[in-house]
């Protein structure tokens, strides 16, 4: 059996978390700048607020988690005698470990909720599609709470906590893998339609690929975490790499959706700039529900019109991705 000390696992976790937190800080700063710019242009659509609040909450959770991790390493290596270090880090019922565990759970639930919502939006808000993912999300929440409650009793049950932990990671992995397949399948179907074969509409493929890649990245992270959890020892001696990966997850759970915000809204701005440069004062965007137009066609579009991929309107229910064309002035009047 490979030996990776639990004290080394938490030390590497603190270093890795610090590096990822720096990346997260840069990403969220740029994301908030892009959202602010999009807010000025669009007048403050609801999706902007949802995106902004979500990544801010994830950033706060990741920051607090990092602070607890650094404090834990400081106490474990500086204020704890060498012969008691392993017991200190392994004590999952301690105050710092408990606080980290609950922050981790909240971060996981929000991240999984984002995955479900993204699948829901891409499937044109079809509630039938997310019935099972929502059920899995509820199961993940219940498993996490029950598992952590095992450490709140006077005599913690390590075996029960381990069983509920297995259920938590298995359900979360199933949720991420399932929604990834649903998302990828839906986007593949949409991009196979003739409307996306247009040269200008191919510019949206970066957004589509980024959406798929982010889902795959989260699913891959969950797989690695679950496998390391299964091979982690019952005691402090053995391969404790699981603790390192677990401490990195709050940062990863925040970076992935933040990266999506950056790619989607920065790409949207680039597309708008492109069309303004060739067609005057017009724009291209994923059109909000309240700005939906009535004149639609499948393939044709006007160089003087607002070209829109309507992912949030009823046009997708018929199985066709339609291109809405209208003038900017008419859109503002609507």
| Residue with token string 């290596």 | 77
- Give the residue with greater pLDDT, 44 vs 179: 179
In contact, 140 and 172? CB cutoff 8 Å = yes
> What angle is formed at CA 107 by the lines to CA 113 and CA 29, rounded to 5 degrees?
95
Out of 1.10.3210, 1.10.150, 1.20.1070, 1.10.3470, which CATH number does the structure's domain 6-275 have?
A: 1.20.1070
195 vs 186, more confident: 186
Question: What pLDDT score was predicted for residue 202?
Answer: 59
Confidence band (pLDDT; 50, 70, 90) for 118?
Answer: confident
Would you kindly state where each structural domain of the chain is located, as residue ranges? 6-275, 282-333
Residue 12 has pLDDT above 80, yes or no: yes
Reported as half-sphere exposure (CB side, CA atoms, 13 A), residue 180 has a value of: 20
Backbone angles phi, psi at 309, to 5 degrees: -90, 105
- How far is residue 286 CA from its own chain's centroid? 20
How would you class 306 by CB atoms within 10 Å of its CB: exposed for 0-12, middle for 13-18, buried for 19 or more?
buried
Give the mean pLDDT of 69-75.
92
The verdict on pTM exceeding 0.85 is: no
Give residue 56's pLDDT. 94
The pLDDT score that the predictor gives to residue 300 is 33
**Range with the poorest average pLDDT among 51-60, 71-80, 211-220, 285-294:** 285-294
Please state which of the ranges 68-82, 93-107, 286-300 shows the lowest mean pLDDT.
Answer: 286-300
């Amino acid at each position: 059996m490979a030996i990776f000390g639990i004290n080394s696992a938490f030390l590497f976790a603190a270093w890795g978390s610090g590096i990822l937190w720096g990346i997260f800080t840069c990403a969220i700063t740029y994301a908030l700048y892009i959202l602010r710019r999009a807010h000025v242009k669009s007048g403050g659509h609801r999706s902007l607020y949802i995106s902004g609040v979500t990544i801010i909450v994830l950033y706060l959770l990741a920051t607090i988690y990092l602070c607890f991790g650094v404090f834990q390493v400081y106490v474990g290596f500086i204020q704890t005698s060498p012969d008691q270090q392993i017991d200190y880090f392994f004590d999952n019922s301690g105050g710092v470990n408990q606080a980290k565990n609950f922050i981790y759970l909240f971060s996981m639930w929000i991240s999984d909720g984002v995955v479900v919502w993204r699948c829901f939006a891409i499937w044109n808000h079809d509630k039938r599609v997310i019935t099972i993912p929502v059920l899995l999300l509820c199961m993940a929440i219940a498993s996490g709470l029950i598992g952590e409650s095992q450490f709140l009793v006077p005599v913690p049950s390590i075996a029960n906590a381990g069983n509920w932990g297995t259920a938590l990671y298995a359900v979360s992995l199933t949720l991420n893998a399932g929604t990834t397949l649903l998302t990828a399948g839906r986007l593949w179907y949409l991009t196979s339609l003739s409307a996306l074969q247009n040269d200008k509409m191919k510019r949206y493929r970066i957004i589509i690929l980024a959406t798929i890649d982010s889902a795959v990245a989260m699913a891959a992270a969950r797989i690695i975490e679950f496998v390391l959890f299964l091979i982690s020892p019952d005691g402090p001696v053995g391969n404790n790499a699981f603790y390192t990966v677990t401490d990195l997850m709050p940062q990863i759970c925040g970076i992935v959706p933040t990266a999506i915000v950056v790619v989607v809204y920065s790409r949207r701005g680039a597309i708008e700039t492109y069309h303004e440069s060739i067609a005057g004062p017009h724009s291209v965007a994923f059109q909000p529900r309240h700005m939906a137009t009535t004149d639609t066609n499948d393939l044709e579009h006007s160089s003087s019109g607002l070209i829109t991929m309507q992912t949030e309107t009823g046009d997708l229910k018929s199985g066709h991705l339609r291109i809405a064309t209208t003038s900017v002035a008419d859109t503002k009047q609507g």
